């Protein structure tokens, strides 16, 4: 039954949409950079280690260098801009400092980030737990498969009006939307990862007489964890996007609200600072995620690196 | 068919020997009734005595892994029974350890060697201190105490299979089943592992059933050899082996060894 879970859920984190794809690319660079910092495998020859070190240095340089180059290009090209739509970067950075670092706009971070945290963590947990349950109950999995797929392909923002009707325009609606977006990639990847666990690993578990709960905890979840992580990362991208969207519709706070308000008030420099803030949050969260992932999945990256020996 | 679980035979000293494992007319059909129905094992009958080292040899694809999965309780026989210590198997019994053909697939790469080996002890509810002591003890008997805190994938193939052996021995099973455990290591490592398994067998007093397609290995290791036919397999002959104390070079060049080896070759490759 390769129906529901096999939908574009590869370890490489198949992009769920074009928008997310670009953000995943950013994180991919970080992934390689991070891979070598945790990669303390014994047995690698000095020559090999040197080669991987040089490769790692290259990726770090690219990961840090490219954004800097882009910023410099932006700075130079926009320096003499008189267009109100594309203010000089120097002006944006100046405003950014005034608004987000010492100014009042940083208060907008609190609702945004707290909604994101609750929604993302909640949605991810629901995704993983339902993934485990569906894995254990193949009959339910078969029965729910069309619905799950339907919800997975449904663009989450389309649900906003419905969520407003259910939860009103309060925080619950925003959290629910973020959580909703995080559930599906996590669920599908969890399910697919669990189904990919080798039969011999289950035979071993039975031979050692592990209980069903211990088998899930010690064998199935760790075995599926690389793919669960891919799902969690995709879920994070979706959650950030949904956070912004939820703040742009019928909302009274948050970064998305700030951007929209600034634009409405023709405060275009301020609008750009909000966009910049979002880019920073997205990047930082991505790097954080990759850092944690490489710590938790050190065994996976370590064993994979040795495979190609 | 009697319901008496134990069939007693006498050895030369007149003491009764109880079979620890009794396999009776075992037949295994995969996907029965479906279009891809596949008879893997035709009919296999043999028993394993307590304390003995039994090898099952058979050509590639004759159903050795299937047989081992069935006699360990991992798979159900289509026809026939498997009795372990007098009771019919419904799942893997407590006193049984299994070492699989491919260590890369059977060990858990997300756990250190120590965690891998102590997992079955944890499942048996052993207290942490006792568990640690036992784990170190068994890692020590397979010569791996130094790499306890490394991961399996950081070790050579031979060492990984020793982790798998330690894991199966950690809870001191009465019977150890091994599926071509040394098939994917080089010749030198293979000899070392063969001697290691003879050593731990004596140390732990465990009965061993080892499946292999290597006739030399079977003769070197066992007290008795069950020779399987090509698949779908049945037992061609059960060959007793009496070679005394083993030593790789001396044993393998002894007349007794060569005679047995030729006999087995003729059984496996009938003209
Ligand atoms: N899960 C399965 N479903 C269907 N057929 C199977 C299954 N497992 C094994 N078989 C078939 O049963 C037969 C015996 O396979 P088995 O793996 O037991 O042989 P083997 O002697 O262990 O082979 P090898 O020497 O390659 O290890 C083969 O024809 C195989 O295709
Ligand atoms: Mg096999």
Same domain? A155 vs A287: yes
Q: Is the CB of B38 under 6 A from ligand 1?
A: yes
Is there a domain that residue A88 lies in? no
Is there a domain that residue A118 lies in? yes
Same domain? A130 vs A249: yes
Same domain? A61 vs A171: no
Is there a domain that residue A55 lies in? yes
CA distance A306 to B153: 8
Q: Is the CB of B63 under 6 A from ligand 1?
A: yes
A25 pLDDT above the threshold of 50:
no
Is there a domain that residue A2 lies in? no
Same domain? A133 vs A23: no
A231 pLDDT above the threshold of 60:
yes
CATH number at residue A231: 1.10.3720.10
Between residues A101 and A224, which one has the greater pLDDT?
Answer: A224
Looking at the CA of B69, which ligand is closest? 1
Same domain? A143 vs A204: yes
Is there a domain that residue A3 lies in? no
Same domain? A72 vs A146: no
Res B17: pLDDT: 62
Same domain? A158 vs A228: yes
Same domain? A168 vs A25: no
Ligand 1: centre distance to CA A182 (Å): 41
Is there a domain that residue A1 lies in? no
Res B26: pLDDT: 94
Chain A residues with CB under 8 Å of B167 CB are 208
Same domain? A27 vs A70: yes
Give me chain A's average pLDDT, please: 82
Q: Which residues 141-200 on chain B approach chain A with CB closer than 8 angstroms?
A: 150-151, 153-154, 167-168, 171
Of the residues A78, A96, A130, the one at which a domain ends: A78
If you measure CA to CA, which chain B residue comes closest to A220? B108
Same domain? A52 vs A149: no
Which of A211, A222, A306 lies closest to B110 in CB terms? Answer: A222
The confidence band for B270, taking pLDDT boundaries of 50, 70 and 90, is low
Across the range B258-271, mean pLDDT stands at 85
Is there a domain that residue A257 lies in? yes
Q: What tens digit of pLDDT does each residue of A64-73 get?
A: 888 888 888 8
Same domain? A285 vs A226: yes
Of the residues A78, A93, A123, the one at which a domain ends: A78
Among A168, A127, A135, A170, which Cα is nearest to A151's? A127
Instruction: Please tell me whether the overall predicted TM-score, pTM, comes out greater than 0.95 for this model.
Output: no
Residue B103 contacts A where some CB pair is shorter than 8 Å: no
A223 pLDDT above the threshold of 60:
yes
Res A7: pLDDT: 41
Q: Which domain holds residue A25?
A: 16-78
Between residues B187 and A24, which one has the greater pLDDT?
Answer: B187
Which ipTM did the prediction report? Answer: 0.88
Q: Is the CB of B118 under 6 A from ligand 1?
A: no
Ligand 2: centre distance to CA B230 (Å): 13
Q: Is the CB of B30 under 6 A from ligand 1?
A: yes
**Percent over 90 (pLDDT), chain B:** 72
Q: Is the CB of B74 under 6 A from ligand 1?
A: no
> How many domains in chain A?
2
CA distance A170 to A188: 29
Res B16: pLDDT: 56
Among B168, B128, B165, which Cα is nearest to B143's? B165
Q: What tens digit of pLDDT does each residue of A151-202 get?
A: 888 888 888 888 888 887 778 888 999 999 999 999 999 999 999 999 999 9
Q: What 3-state DSSP class applies to A15?
A: coil
Using the beta-carbon criterion (under 8 Å), do A201 and B106 form an inter-chain contact?
yes
Same domain? A57 vs A199: no
Three-state DSSP string of chain B: CCCCCCCCEECCCCCEECEEEEEEEEEEEECCCCCCCEEEEEEEEEEEECCCEEEEECCCCCCHHHHHHHHCCCCCCCEEEEEECCEECCCCCCCEEEECCCHHHHCCCCCCHHHHHHHHHHHCCCCHHHHHHHHHHHHHHCCCHHHCCCCHHHCCHHHHHHHHHHHHHCCCCCEEEEECCCCCCCHHHHHHHHHHHHHHHHHHCCEEEEEECCHHHHHHHCCEEEEECCCCEEEEEEEECCCCCCCHHHHHHCHHHHHHHHHHHHHHCCC
Which of A204, A206, A303 lies closest to B91 in CB terms? Answer: A206
**Percent over 70 (pLDDT), chain B:** 93
Q: What tens digit of pLDDT does each residue of B132-164 get?
A: 999 999 999 999 999 999 999 999 999 999 999
Is there a domain that residue A300 lies in? yes
Among the ranges given (A39-48, A263-272, B40-49), the one the predictor scored with the smallest mean pLDDT: A39-48
């Amino acid at each position: 039954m390769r129906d529901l879970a096999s939908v574009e859920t590869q370890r490489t984190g198949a992009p769920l949409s074009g928008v997310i794809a670009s953000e995943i690319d950013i994180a991919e660079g970080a992934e390689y950079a991070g891979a070598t910092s945790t990669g303390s495998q014994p047995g690698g020859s000095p020559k090999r280690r040197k080669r991987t070190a040089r490769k790692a240095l290259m990726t770090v340089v690219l990961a840090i260098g490219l954004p800097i180059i882009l910023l410099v290009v932006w700075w130079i090209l926009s320096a003499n801009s008189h267009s109100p739509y594309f203010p000089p970067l120097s002006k944006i950075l100046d405003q950014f400092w005034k608004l987000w670092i010492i100014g009042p706009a940083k208060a907008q971070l609190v609702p945004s980030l707290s909604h994101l945290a609750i929604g993302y963590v909640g949605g991810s947990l629901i995704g993983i737990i339902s993934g485990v349950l569906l894995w254990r109950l193949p009959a339910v999995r078969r029965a729910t498969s069309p619905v799950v797929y339907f919800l997975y392909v449904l663009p989450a923002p389309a649900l906003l009006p419905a969520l407003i009707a259910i939860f009103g325009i309060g925080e619950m609606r925003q959290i629910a939307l973020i959580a909703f977006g995080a559930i599906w990639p996590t669920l599908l990847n969890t399910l697919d990862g669990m189904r990919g666990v080798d039969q011999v690993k289950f035979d071993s578990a039975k031979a050692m007489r592990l209980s069903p709960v211990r088998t899930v905890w010690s064998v199935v979840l760790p075995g599926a964890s690389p793919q669960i992580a891919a799902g969690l990362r995709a879920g994070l991208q979706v959650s950030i996007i949904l956070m912004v969207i939820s703040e742009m519709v019928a909302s009274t706070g948050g970064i998305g609200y700030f951007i929209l308000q600034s634009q409405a008030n023709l405060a275009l420099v301020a609008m750009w600072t909000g966009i910049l803030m979002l880019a920073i949050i997205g990047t930082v969260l991505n790097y954080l995620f990759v850092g944690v992932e490489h710590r938790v999945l050190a065994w996976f990256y370590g064993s994979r690196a040795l495979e190609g020996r | 068919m009697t319901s008496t679980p134990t069939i007693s035979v006498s050895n030369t000293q007149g003491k009764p020997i109880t079979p620890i494992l009794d396999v009776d007319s075992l037949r295994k059909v995969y996907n029965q009734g479906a279009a891809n129905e596949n008879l893997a094992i035709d009919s296999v009958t043999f028993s394993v005595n307590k304390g003995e080292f039994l090898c099952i040899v058979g050509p590639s694809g004759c159903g050795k892994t299937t047989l081992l999965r069935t006699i360990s309780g991992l798979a159900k026989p289509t026809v026939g029974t498997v009795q372990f210590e007098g009771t019919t198997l419904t799942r893997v019994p407590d006193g049984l350890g299994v070492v699989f053909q491919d260590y890369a697939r059977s060990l858990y790469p997300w756990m250190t060697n120590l965690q891998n080996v102590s997992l079955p002890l944890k499942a048996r509810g052993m207290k942490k201190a006792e568990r640690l002591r036992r784990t170190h003890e068994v890692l020590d008997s397979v010569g791996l105490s130094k790499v306890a805190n490394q991961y399996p994938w950081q070790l050579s193939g031979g060492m990984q299979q020793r982790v798998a052996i330690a894991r199966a021995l950690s809870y001191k099973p009465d019977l150890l089943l091994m599926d071509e455990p040394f098939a994917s290591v080089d010749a030198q490592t293979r000899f070392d592992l063969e001697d290691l398994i003879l050593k731990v067998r004596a140390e732990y007093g465990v009965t061993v059933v080892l499946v292999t397609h290597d006739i030399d290995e079977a003769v070197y290791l066992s007290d008795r050899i069950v020779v399987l036919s090509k698949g779908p397999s049945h037992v061609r002959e059960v060959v007793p082996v009496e070679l005394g104390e083993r030593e790789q070079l001396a044993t393998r060049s002894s007349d007794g060894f060569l005679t047995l080896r030729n006999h087995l070759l003729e059984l496996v490759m009938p003209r």
